[in-house]
Structure 1
Amino acid sequence: MNRILRTPRAAPLAVLLCGASVPALGQPAPAQVPAAPAAAPAVIVGGQIDPATVAVDTSPWLYKGSDIAQDREWHFGRLPNGLRYAVRRNGVPPGQVAIRVRIEAGSLNETDSERGFAHFIEHLSFRGSEYVPDGEAKRTWQRFGATFGTDQNAQTTPTQTVYHLDLPGATPTSLDESLKILSGMMEKPNIVPAALNAERPVVLAEQREQPGPQVRVGDTVRATFFAGQPLADRSPIGNIKTLEAATAPTVLAFHDRWYRPANAVVVVVGDMEPDVLARLVTRNFASWRGVGPVPPVPDFGRPHAGLPTTATTVEASIPEVVSTAVLRPWRFNNDTVIFNQRRLVDTIATQVIDRRLETRARAGGSFLQASVGLDDVSRSANITSVNIVPLGDDWELALRDVRGVIADAMTRPPSQAEIDQELAGYDSAMKTQADTARVQMGSHLADDLVQALDIRETTTSPEASYKVFADARAKRMFTPAAILASTRRLFKGDATRAVVNLHAADPAAAPKLAAALRSDVTGAEPARAA
């Protein structure tokens, strides 16, 4: 349920776990939705499909298998070719329409020889397609008031590619033209030698210029945490070797394999009636047909216990940081009320630990900052992460002290007062979200739904989300015993990993880190405040 709030005190460098998303500028659930049974042929009028002749399944596909209260502002559809859409009216800001086209393909869909192809296709798609010559799409949207890089862009992550377009002052005519351009970009981008060779230097420049301290640390973190899995070395930016070797046929082969209507979702939110938005999506996307056989769902693997557990980086321009992780296999779960309530218990358990770590740091502990995170990362692992910024260079002492706090949380239940403090903050934040929902921007709503799709969840209204939380409190799910059981579960898994960033090279650091992870922290538990 995408509107359930995430842990507010986010762990530093947590974004590094997911793999850097690359903008166009400078058990798993099936990835493909089977096509619907063949319907009567649609009628072509003026070179485009007449939406009235298309048999659209308007059942709420997002909520299949879920008992989460449906957000009735969203209107759903599934075209005969398998493409799904979600549309809703929103007048913030007035006149704007936000469009998102999500393709279920990212860097984890690439083979070894295709690294960087998903991102490369972003660039080629914006250059030209079936309906517009090279460069004309950007000029068209500029005439409609959109700015490239701000209102029109795209991003590739390990698990998806999302095309963004925000049209200020949109009209049915400008929206129709925009959706037509986007449909051509998805179905038939201009993947030809001339376009590829013109865009290759831009993509290679991004690849060469992107590496920086945080990127290098992030690469090491992913390579260590996800060793033995595709995510370990599948950065969306790719590598120079595969990008230089890319040809129009090889890039087109990747496109045809993954860019197919059953892999696509079109999200439109804006200041127009939902039936107008749905009709225009149908008009422009119903004729899309996939090329070639449907590929099998990729296997992203599972954590491996028998691989090296630690690594080091040396980046003097960013803080010394110890990042640890307990990894478990990622599993698909239907997005139900009880699933979200149990996840809320886990969230409160991490927040109790975070509060204790924050208190200890402020009292003059061995670390400046430490926090716990819980997430499903790129459908590759369910992970409990801990990030620690030590005070000075004694990262071993900082790690020991933080492990002592966690060991105490795994040994003794928290007080009800501690739990109630976190629940009060959560309650206030969710009420604020409900109170401000009426002024939420349409582009944010569109992004929220895309995020929900990527993490295999639904989305609901803030009021319904708050009710899920309130019902969990009414059922007394947040007891000291429940929080203790959650904490013990969150710090057990199939593999434990750690990376430390240093300011000076230390060949013994990796073995020291491995030993520190295994060391007995009895006696390091802090005395609890009354």
Structure 2
Amino acid sequence: MKKYFSLLMCGLLGASGFSQSLDDILEKQEIPLNSDIKIGKLENGLTYYIKENKEPQERAELYLAIKAGSLQENDDQKGLAHFTEHMAFNGTESFPKNELINYLQKAGIRFGADLNAYTGFDRTVYQLPLPTDDEALFESGFKILSEWAGAISFEAEEINNEREVIVEEERQRGKNVSERISKQLLPVLLKDSRYEDRLPIGEVEIIRNFDHQTLKDYYKDWYRPHLQAVIAVGDFDKDKVEALIKENFSDLKTGENPKKPEIYSIPSNKEPLVKIVTDPEYPYTVASLMYKHPGTSVKTDKDFRNSIMRSAVNSMLSARIQETTQAGNAPFLQAGASYGAYQGGMGDLDAFSIQVVAKTPETLEPAVKGIMDEVLKMKTFGFTQSELDRTKLNFKRAVEQSYKEKDKTASKVYVNQILSNFLKGEAVIDMEYSMDFYNKYLDGITLEEVNQMAIEFIRDDNQIILLQAAESSKEQLPDEATLTDWFLNYTGDFEAYQDEISSIPLLDKELSTAGITSKKKIKELDATEITLENGIKVILKSTDFKSDQVLFQAFSPGGYSLATEDLIQSAKIADNLIASSGIGEFNAIQLKKKLAGKSLSLSPYISTYTEGIKGKTSSDDLETLLKLTYLYFTEPRKDSLIFQNLKDNYKVAIEGKSSNPVAVFQDTINTVMRGKGPWALDPEVDDIENFSLDQAYKFYQSRFRDAGDFTFVFVGNFQNQEVIPHLKKYLGSLPSTGSKEKFKDVGIAPIQGKVNKEIKKGLEEKAMVVLTYHDTYKHNQKNNLQLKAIKSALETRLLKRLREKESGVYSPSVGLSIVKIPNPYYTFSISFNSAPDRADELIEATKEEVDRMIEDGPYEEELQKFIAQEKRQKELQLRSNSYWLSYIKGVYSKSIKRDYINQYEDYLDKLKPRNLKNAAKKYLSVDGQAQLILLPQD
């Protein structure tokens, strides 16, 4: 009887007449909070969330969230919510000035990469990831959060020093074409709302001149416990953590007249809001149409089901647009359409957003009408049952994989869900609940429901129409009325979508099974190495870091260094061409449909000196990945339509670079660091016409026709005895002649001697500076580690000098590039942005710090911070599949010693200031130096 009742219910759930009553039932069912999360509230109103989670091991994520941001600022406080966030790192009651950062860095916590914060319109969030195996350090984390919540010092000197730092942050993040375009669009997107006048970065005049008390008033008004939450997720005892929260936060005072943040909205608009903007540096012609909708959130089962249907519409529409783009003769360069949060969630709104990139300004009309054909086709005919079935299959596979990883999910994932719960009231959906929900309701979602939802995306009001283009194209652009007509009055030129599905097998041939000529255990890697009869070497490392993940990479020496000069530009697009064209009998669209319900990604690549294939999959889909690998070697596909699309995209991108000052500057950097040969430089516009489909295809074949010198690495959750039969079949059947190729030295290396270049291009008051120090050296682990230690110390000093002392730079960066082939060399690259009139003095300050590093080397404290951070990072890396994949590739590429991983801490502990002093002098006192500056045009 129970079985009969279940079948009857399934039938009813699938019937449209039952959908309304199902909605009524689901609307009343609130999604319960994840049962593993402990939530509580202190007497002062502070909320706390605690969840035990073992991934990563011996780590915890501690967050402080405040329901206040830039929207809560008074007129004289614009930018002070963000300023307050900065002051949290410039002194608290127990950690004056920069002692907080200093204390955490000594414990191995990285400022910026680990320790950080951000300010939004309606929130301020602080993040503090900590190890839990150091009890004193872990406990101090709660004290730090509590002092951010209620005991920031606001010392006068620190406030004044930070003013120009924030001005420089605005310069670094903005002062470009994107900011100029945004400033013109935001008054339309945020029309008549508080958002328009409360951007988190604030106003420069206020930042430079506000009274200190005004900043303190913001902190006093909004940093109150009833608006705050402490979030702790990690490898700890939850009862102990709860006690620490109560101990550190119970004394925070709510104060008199506690404020409640006002809810701000963005008004509706009956008539379309239209804006056309141009800029001399904007490289594309981009039109968009948005339909604003009331915001959605997931709190009940009905919300959850609706969110799945919205995702289904997005997925199916995206697939159709992609198909049109790749089908040849598409009227646009790129296009997209999807439903989601409006402008990142502003005003509690959603939007259905349609965007199209035209090939040229002159072809904007067919581009707009081309994307509207797809949208109107969806509205008129809806989707097909086969499209929905395929989407459900993909959704089900994704949720199954998430469920398998429920015990391997990183703590930060849970933190983000909890943040949404505290700030927006969103449900924190338990993995088991999600899996059960999909099993119950996914199959019952009908095509009729999904098509009706898609129709409702398109409405007659709340429309916004935008156009962004190059200033030089003004004469070719439509006026606002014409653009509106193209979007809203076009009735379409289309037929119902036909879902073409191939029934042929992915691999339609019988393969023989090869033998294994050697098999051995690699103790240092805890891996197994096998060699197949055709010469292919395979390294297998089985791990339990993830429950259902297998990473894979195959590699071989050669790359496009082996291309002749007359073929080099076509050779450089060969991998992109093949990866985009599908495989064997399947074009790219057919292949995607064929792989529905599979969890895998795979693509070939060709770099300067190597070629290979890389991807990832699940244990269940590993055989499918190997089938695709076999086909990428033996049956790459040559698609003339894809080739033309690639040419069109390259042309628009390259033509746009000439007007972009940053792109021009980057080309200059590349020339200095790589040389001027055809193998080193990116293609120019003239090169595009010389791209050859046949040459690109033949070059790809030349790189992959002989698999005998390839090494394959697999890392993840699998059993060797289950994998090896597949390897013998699919890899063992790959063609091989037994030859071993070598790459060719094509002269890619930094220009020798001292280089000084100044480029004047661009409209903004912004200087970009790059200083490099480069030379050849002996590549080994000891020298590489010394280079890394010097890089770390130099970055610390430049932060102190350029940001904290000079207040001239927001975030100076020191990069380190280590190259082994064809000839080992290293490059230190110092970069920063500043005001143009301060560039020279800041360059001199930088050189003073470099000279000091040459003279003194890293100090003991700098070295100990580096060692602590390296050891902490290595703990995480050793439980990462991606790290081991990279490491094993390095071993078999002969760039890393096999046993280095086991000796790493010994190498670190042998680092001494006296040795690093000599190393700094050796590596920084070099003839290979470059000073490159980008300044605004005169």
- TM-score band w.r.t. shorter chain: 0.7 to 0.9
- CA gap of 1:265–1:433, structure 2 versus 1, over 3 A, is same
The residue matched to 1:439 in structure 2 has which SS?
coil
| Partner residue, 1:123 | 86
Q: Distance in 1 between matches of 2:68 and 2:489?
A: 44
| Aligned with 2:386 (options 410, 413, 417) | 417
Normalising by structure 1, report the TM-score: 0.82
Q: 1:342 to 1:214 in 2, by over 3 A?
A: same
Q: Is residue 460 of structure 2 the alignment partner of residue 497 of structure 1?
A: no
Match of 1:352 among 307, 316, 323: 316
For 2:492 and 2:306, the matched residues in 1 are separated by 32
What does residue 304 of structure 1 align with? 268
Task: Name whichever of 360-369 and 291-300 sits farther off.
Answer: 291-300
| Residue from 356, 377, 381 that aligns with 1:408 | 377
Change (3 A) 1:403 1:454: farther
Cα gap change, 1:370/1:276 in structure 2, threshold over 3 Å: closer, same or farther?
Answer: same
Are the equivalent residues in 2 in contact too, given 1:145–1:167 (CA < 8 A)? no
C-alpha distance in 2, partners of 1:128/1:280?
Answer: 22
Residues 408-447 of structure 1 correspond to what in structure 2 (within 5 A)?
408-447=377-416
- The two structures, once aligned, show a CA RMSD in angstroms of 2.3
Contact 2:289–2:353 (CA under 8 A) maintained in structure 1 = yes
Q: Which amino acid aligns with 1:346?
A: R
Q: How does 1:358-507 map to 2 (within 5 A)?
A: 358-364=322-328, 365-376=330-341, 377-393=345-361, 394-474=363-443, 476-477=444-445, 479-492=446-459, 494-505=461-472, 506=474
2:103 alignment partner in structure 1: 140
Q: Name the stretch that deviates more: 271-280 or 361-370.
A: 361-370
* 1:154 Cα deviation after fit: 0.3
Matches of 1:161 and 1:318 in 2, distance apart?
Answer: 34
| 2:46 equivalent among 57, 62, 83 | 83
Distance 1:349 1:80 in 2: 45
User: 1:267 is matched with which residue?
Assistant: 231
Correspondence for 2:491: 522
User: Taking structure 1 as reference, are residues 470 and 367 closer, same or farther at Cα in structure 2, changes over 3 Å only?
Assistant: farther
Name the CA distance, whole Å, in 1 between partners of 2:204 and 2:458. Answer: 38
- Asked if the contact 1:87–1:269 (Cα under 8 Å) also holds between the matched residues in 2, the reply is yes
Distance 2:347 2:435 in 1: 26
Match of 2:246 in 1: 282
Shift of 1:398: 1.3
Bigger-Rg structure (1/2)? 2
Q: How far did 1:129 drift?
A: 1.5
Q: 1:157 to 1:287 in 2, by over 3 A?
A: same
Displacement after TM superposition at 1:512 (Å) = 5.3
Identify if the C-alpha distance between structure 1 residues 523 and 373 changes in structure 2 by more than 3 Å, giving closer, same or farther: closer
- Confirm or deny: 8 A CA contact 1:302 1:329 kept in the other structure: no
Question: How far does the alpha carbon of each residue in 1:226-259 deviate from its partner, in whole angstroms, 9 at most, with x for none?
Answer: 2112223432111212212322111111111111
> Aligned in 2, Cα 1:232/1:250: closer, same or farther, shift over 3 Å?
same
Q: Which amino acid aligns with 2:223?
A: Y
Further displaced range: 215-224 or 230-239:
215-224
Q: Distance in 2 between matches of 1:292 and 1:318?
A: 54
> How far 1:295 sits from its partner (Å)?
2.2
C-alpha separation in 2, matches of 1:489 and 1:221: 26
In 1, the alpha carbon distance for the partners of 2:98 and 2:116 equals 14
| 1:385 maps to amino acid | S
Which has the larger helix fraction?
A: 2
Deviates more, 1:368-377 or 1:216-225: 216-225
Q: Distance in 1 between matches of 2:109 and 2:470?
A: 44
Say if 1:400 and 1:516, in contact at 8 Å, map to a contact too: no
Cα deviation for residue 375 of structure 1 reads: 2.3
Q: Call closer, same or farther: CA 1:473–1:445 in 2, change over 3 Å.
A: closer
Does the Cα contact within 8 Å between 1:310 and 1:513 map onto a contact in 2? no
| Partner Cα distance (2:489, 2:224) in 1 | 53
Deviations 1:272-308 (A, max 9, x none): 1111111111111111113442224323123331574
- Summarize deviations over 1:83-131 as a string: whole Å, max 9, x none: 1111111222221111111111122222333221111001111111222
Task: Indicate conservation of the 8 Å contact 1:95/1:271, yes or no.
Answer: yes
Q: CA offset at residue 140 of structure 1?
A: 1.7
Q: Does 1:336 align with 2:300?
A: yes
The Cα shift of 1:317 comes to 5.3
Identity %: 22
Cα distance change on mapping 1:295 and 1:69 into 2, 3 Å: closer
Structure 2 letter corresponding to 1:345: M
1:74 CA drift (Å): 1.3
> Does the C-alpha gap of structure 1 residues 470 and 245 become closer, same or farther in structure 2, counting only changes over 3 Å?
farther
Comparing 246-255 and 303-312, the one that deviates more? 303-312
Question: SS state of the match for residue 523, structure 1?
Answer: coil
The 8 Å contact of residues 416 and 480 in structure 1, kept in 2 or not, is answered as yes
Q: Classify the secondary structure of the residue corresponding to 1:177.
A: helix
The equivalences for 1:116-195 within 5 A come to 116-195=79-158
Q: Which runs of structure 2 are paired with 1:306-325 in the superposition (5 Å)? A: 308-314=273-279, 316=281, 318-325=283-290
Aligned equivalents of 1:493 and 1:83: distance in 2?
Answer: 44
Shift of 1:75: 1.3
User: Match for 2:339: what amino acid?
Assistant: L
Q: What secondary structure is seen at the aligned counterpart in 2 of 1:284?
A: helix
Opposite residue 198 of structure 2, the aligned amino acid is R
- Taking the aligned partners of 1:170 and 1:510, their CA distance within structure 2 comes to 64
CA apart distance, 1:162: 0.6
Q: Could you say which residue in structure 2 is the equivalent of 1:214?
A: 178
Structure 1 gaps, min length 5: 1-64
Q: Are 2:30 and 1:67 aligned?
A: yes
CA distance in 2, matches of 1:300, 1:193: 33
Give the corresponding residue for 2:716.
none
Partners of 2:264 and 2:365 in 1: CA distance: 33
Which has the larger displacement, 243-252 or 389-398? Answer: 389-398
Q: Is the 8 A contact 2:37 2:50 kept in 1?
A: yes
Query: What amino acid sits opposite 1:237 in the alignment?
Result: I
- Residues 228, 304 of structure 1: 8 Å contact kept: no
Change in Cα spacing, 1:500 to 1:233, as seen in structure 2 (3 Å) is: farther
Bigger RCO of structures 1 and 2 (CA < 8 A, at least 6 apart) = 1
Q: Is the 8 A contact 2:132 2:236 kept in 1?
A: no
- Does the 8 Å contact 2:279/2:471 carry over to 1? yes
Q: TM-score, normalised by structure 2?
A: 0.47
3-state SS, counterpart of residue 126 of structure 1: coil
Cα distance in 1 for residues equivalent to 2:184 and 2:405: 40
494 and 231 in structure 1: CA distance in 2 versus 1, 3 angstrom threshold: farther
Equivalent AA in structure 1 for residue 191 of structure 2 = A
1:237 aligns with 2:205: no
SS of 1:522's equivalent in the other structure is: coil
Q: How far does residue 484 in structure 1 lie from its aligned partner after superposition?
A: 1.9
Matched, 1:107 2:70: yes
Where structure 2 has 5 or more consecutive residues not aligned to the other structure, the ranges are 1-27, 500-938
Deviation track 1:40-96 (CA, whole Å, cap 9, x = no partner) reads xxxxxxxxxxxxxxxxxxxxxxxxx97214322211111111111111112222211
Q: Say if 2:117 and 2:124, in contact at 8 Å, map to a contact too.
A: yes
Contact 1:227/1:304 (<8 A) preserved = no
Q: 2:80·2:207 contact (CA, 8 Å) conserved in 1?
A: yes
CA contact (8 A) 2:132 2:138 kept: no
